[in-house]
Every structure is written in C-alpha cells, then in structure tokens.
Amino acid sequence: MNISKVLNENVEAIKDILKGCDDVVYRSIEVGHDKKTQVAIIFVDGLTDKMVISEYIIESLLDAGNFEGISIGSVKSDASEKASSEFIAVDDVKKEEDLNKVIDAILVGETALFIDGSDKALILSTRGWPKRGIQEPQTETVVKGPRDGFTETLRFNTALVRRRIRDPKLKVKAMKVGRRSKTDVAVMYIEDIANDEIVKEVINRIERIDIDAIGETAFLEFLIEDNYLSPFPQIESTERPDAVAAAILEGRIAILVDNTPFGLMIPATIGTFFQSSEDYYTRWPMASVFRFIRIIAGLLTLLSPAMYIAITSFHPGLIPSVLTFYVAASRINVPFPAVIEAFLMELTIELLRESGTRIAGPIGSTIGIVGGIIIGQAAVEAGIVSPLKIIITAVTTISFFAIANYEWATSLRILRFVFMIMAALFGLYGIMLGIVLLMVHLAKLESFGIPFASPLSGLGLKEGDLKDTIVKVPVQKLEFRPKFTFPKDKIRLKKR
C-alpha cells in the first residue's frame, strides 16, 4: 500500500492498522523556519532508544530552521531527501514507499518519519530494548578461553562473530522467517571456503519454511534438518561465538536467530559433536586425552546400566570370579531383581535432574544434595538397592555431564533406557543388537547430504579428518580443512 502525500492520511492509516496497540507513540512536530511543515514520527515505546529519538531526531528537527517544506502542490526537491541528507542526525536512514513495510519497521523498533507533502517515509534506526549483557554461556564453559556468549540480539551476535573473522569474504545474509514473528535470521559463511551447493541448500530450506513463528533456533533446526524422526541432532547448536567462528573457518555455515543466544552450525557430524572449544585452547596431549575421556563417557552413559543388567541377570560368568562373588554378596537380600533396581534408580536420577533444572539457585543445588546423599544413601542402608547399582548410576550421570554437546548427551541419555530394555530381554546379545542398530542408524543419517557418521564411516578418512575427532593432533599438523564440508579452499596452515 503506497504512502500518500498527505500526512494525515498516512498517520490515520497507521493508527487504524495499529488500533489497540497502545504502546505505539505518535508525535507531531512543526518544523521549518516558518513552522509551516508538518512532520510526524511514529515509534513503539519500549523497542526504541528514547535518547536517540529525543536528542537526535526531535531536537534536530526542531532546530531545522532552514527547512523549507513543501506545501501541497509545489514540486520542488523532495523533502524527505533533503531532510535525510541535511537534518536528521541518525546513523542509518532508509527511504520507504510501502506503508506495510513502514509498519514492519515500526514493529521492529525503528522510527517512521512522515513529512507532509512527501510520499516517501523515512525509517530511522532507533532500535533499543532491554537486553542482557554479555555473559559467559551457561551451557558451555571453558577454563581457558573467551567468556563471551551470544545474547538475544541478532546484531550483537553477528558482531561477535565478525570480531573474530575480519575477512571481507565473511558474508552475512539476512532473512526473515515466520509469517507473524518475522524473526530476523542471519546466515553467515565465508564465501571462498564454504561449498556453494551446501550454502544454496541451506538458504533454500530456510526460504521454504512457512510457519507462524520461530521462537528459537530449535524451530529452525527441526524444520530444516534431514531426518526429524531421529533421536540425534543433525545440526549443532552452540552459545559460543568462538565456536561459531571456528566452524565458519572450517567451511561450515552458521545460522543466527534473533531472540535466542543459540546459533546453529551446518553441516554437523559425529566428529563435531565430540569437539569442544576448550580442546583448541589446551595443549594437544591433554586435549587428546580429554577427547578420549569424552568418548568413553559417551559409552558409559549409554551402556552402564544396561551392562549391569546384562551381567548380573544373564551372564555372571563374564566377569572375573572375585568380582562375581563380591557383586553377589552386595546383592543379597535386595528385594528387587536387577532390572527393576536399574530402572528405579535411573528414573530417580532423571527426576532429580529434571527438578534440579527447573529450580535455579540455591534451592536447585539443595535438591542435588538431598537427592544424591539422602536418597541414595538411605536406599542402600534400607537394603532396597545394592551399592554397586548406586555407583553405576552415579558414574552414568557424571559421564553425561562430561560429554561436550548437551543435545547429543541428552539423546544418549534417553537411549540408555532403550538399551536397558534390550539388556533386560536378551542380555549381552540384546545390548550388541542395540549397538549395531544404532550404528546403522547413524550411518543412514545425513546432514545436508553429508554422511553424519563421518569421519568414522569413510568420508574424510583419507584426508585425515580423524586427526581432529578422536584425538587432537598439534595445530601444526592440521594443515587442511576437514573434508566433510567440501571446502573450496583447502589449506588452513602453510607449513614452513
């Protein structure tokens, strides 16, 4: 809908569309040395930076002594042009002819300036809203490394990434997703590294989304990933800008979404899920050991209760004799069979964890202590659960927290129950069937056409992708970018 040259018509039209939105402010000013020209600014209270509006817009308009407006009928130079180039002291000014777009801009936090007699409105950048300062990311902390995390403002987040890659080839493609939410989405990649086909595919999939609102990157993730039925995430998400920057430098593509501090990185493989930022800031032998420990932690959190069930109920012959007798001795007079015991303890731990997450602060940590010490200890004292099972549950839970990526760890945690059922039915055979089915599923999974199980399953083995997955080799050896992103520029580090 076009803007008319009559100021009142425009203002009335907007008032009509935004009826009931009492947080929209309409301010009329008379400007010009003869105070003849009418000007109206419209903005949303709360989304805008009041200081910019008062000091830079209104004040400069009021001071605009030489402003010769145009009375209806006169065809001199376009007033909005003049106003924008000579009078408005705001950093970013855009011209707009479509009333709907003007409304969109107002709702984002910009201020619309209408001049009587001009059919173009000025959109002044005045965005400012209550926001969180830069904090250390809650879910991924490192001991040594940067402590800034993303916030809910998209522009800050892209800035945090830009600070780390000052390359003109770092592209930020802005998109809007969501019919009603019109959320800003930024797709970032380095043009001469990232593979063109993948970039095109990512943008394609985002454009194809037709949904009311995008609340978080999670929505985006679930709508564009290859297999939404799988329990495993096929896109990696992170709160850390240094992780995003590193990913972009590997040839991956990052997606940042307004209103959430989590960014996405595409494509993702098993290898990437076991990497943590800290690996790159620590010396390589230690980093390799930690990687290894993470893998073991993953296996432990997945399989320990299931192995406990398999060994105590089905195959006590599989452990050395001394251990067998100790285990048997610790289980005397426990009323539950091992399967029930295992399920009970695991469910209890899940309950504790859930309640601990819901309640933050001191109460939350108290629950941890209450749960761990009192329930666990009391259960053993009462003879309901064997002490060995408590240890296994504790090991499982601690391993869960040792895994680098939260989503991945959560998937493993849930699969743990599936494995327990398999073990309860068929013992060790059931566990092995479960492992093998899991492997097949991971082999089938693809992330934007890249096999998910790389580099373990073949893609990139020759190129040495393994050098950065299971172990971490010294930086000097990581000459090439990983193959799974199919980068255009392969060389990272030139050997001297």
Binding residue count for other proteins, defined by CB under 8 A: 59
Q: Does 425 bind other proteins (CB under 8 A)?
A: yes
Among candidates 327, 329, 298, which has minimal Cα distance to 311?
327
Q: Does 439 bind other proteins (CB under 8 A)?
A: yes
Q: Which is nearer to other proteins, 28 or 457 (CB)?
A: 457
Residues 6+ apart with CB under 8 A from 496: none
Site for other proteins in 470-489 (CB under 8 A): 486
| In the complex, minimum distance from the CB of residue 418 to other proteins, in angstroms, rounded to a whole number | 11
Question: Of the listed pieces 96-104, 152-160, 252-260, 451-459, which binds other proteins according to CB under 8 A?
Answer: 451-459
Tell which one of 15, 76, 163, 462 touches other proteins (CB under 8 A): 462
Q: Is 60 strand, coil or helix? A: helix
Q: Does 32 bind other proteins (CB under 8 A)?
A: no
Q: Which is nearer to other proteins, 50 or 462 (CB)?
A: 462
Site for other proteins in 49-88 (CB under 8 A): none
| In the complex, minimum distance from the CB of residue 247 to other proteins, in angstroms, rounded to a whole number | 16
Three-state DSSP string of 17-31 = HCCCCCCEEEEEEEE
Site for other proteins in 303-342 (CB under 8 A): 311-322, 324-332, 334, 337-339
Site for other proteins in 183-202 (CB under 8 A): 195, 197-198, 201
Residues 6+ apart with CB under 8 A from 173: 186, 187, 188, 203
| In the complex, minimum distance from the CB of residue 459 to other proteins, in angstroms, rounded to a whole number | 7
Q: Does 493 bind other proteins (CB under 8 A)?
A: no
Q: Does 435 bind other proteins (CB under 8 A)?
A: yes
Q: Does 453 bind other proteins (CB under 8 A)?
A: yes
Q: Does 28 bind other proteins (CB under 8 A)?
A: no
Question: Of the listed pieces 95-103, 110-118, 393-401, 418-426, which binds other proteins according to CB under 8 A?
Answer: 418-426
Structure tokens at 375: 């329930």
Radius of gyration of the chain, Cα coordinates, nearest whole angstrom: 30
* Burial environment of residue 204 by CB neighbours within 10 A (0 to 12, 13 to 18, 19 or more): exposed
Distance CA 227, CA 279 (A): 29
Q: Which is nearer to other proteins, 159 or 328 (CB)?
A: 328
Question: Of the listed pieces 176-184, 208-216, 390-398, 419-427, which binds other proteins according to CB under 8 A?
Answer: 419-427
Q: Which is nearer to other proteins, 149 or 460 (CB)?
A: 460
Q: Which is nearer to other proteins, 92 or 191 (CB)?
A: 191
| In the complex, minimum distance from the CB of residue 293 to other proteins, in angstroms, rounded to a whole number | 19
Q: Which is nearer to other proteins, 108 or 421 (CB)?
A: 421
Q: Does 433 bind other proteins (CB under 8 A)?
A: yes
Do the Cβ atoms of 209 and 166 come closer than 8 Å? no
Distance CA 51, CA 128 (A): 10
H/E stretch holding 294 reads helix 284-309
Q: Which is nearer to other proteins, 232 or 280 (CB)?
A: 232
- Tell me how many helices (H) and strands (E) the chain has: 17, 12
Do the Cβ atoms of 257 and 214 come closer than 8 Å? yes
Q: Which is nearer to other proteins, 192 or 354 (CB)?
A: 192
Alpha helices in 359-466 (DSSP H): 361-369, 377-382, 387-402, 406-444
Q: Which is nearer to other proteins, 92 or 196 (CB)?
A: 196
| In the complex, minimum distance from the CB of residue 452 to other proteins, in angstroms, rounded to a whole number | 9
Distance CA 65, CA 86 (A): 11
* Burial environment of residue 144 by CB neighbours within 10 A (0 to 12, 13 to 18, 19 or more): exposed
Per-residue DSSP letter, 143:
S
Distance CA 420, CA 430 (A): 9
DSSP string, 64-127: -TT-----TT--SS-HHHHIIIII---S-EEEE-BHHHHHHHHHHT-EEEEETT-S-EEEE--B
| In the complex, minimum distance from the CB of residue 271 to other proteins, in angstroms, rounded to a whole number | 13
Q: Does 227 bind other proteins (CB under 8 A)?
A: no
| In the complex, minimum distance from the CB of residue 127 to other proteins, in angstroms, rounded to a whole number | 36
| In the complex, minimum distance from the CB of residue 245 to other proteins, in angstroms, rounded to a whole number | 22
Do the Cβ atoms of 184 and 220 come closer than 8 Å? no
**Interface contacts to other proteins, rule CB under 8 A:** 195, 197-198, 201, 311-322, 324-332, 334, 337-339, 424-429, 431-433, 435-437, 439-444, 448-451, 453, 456-459, 461-462, 486
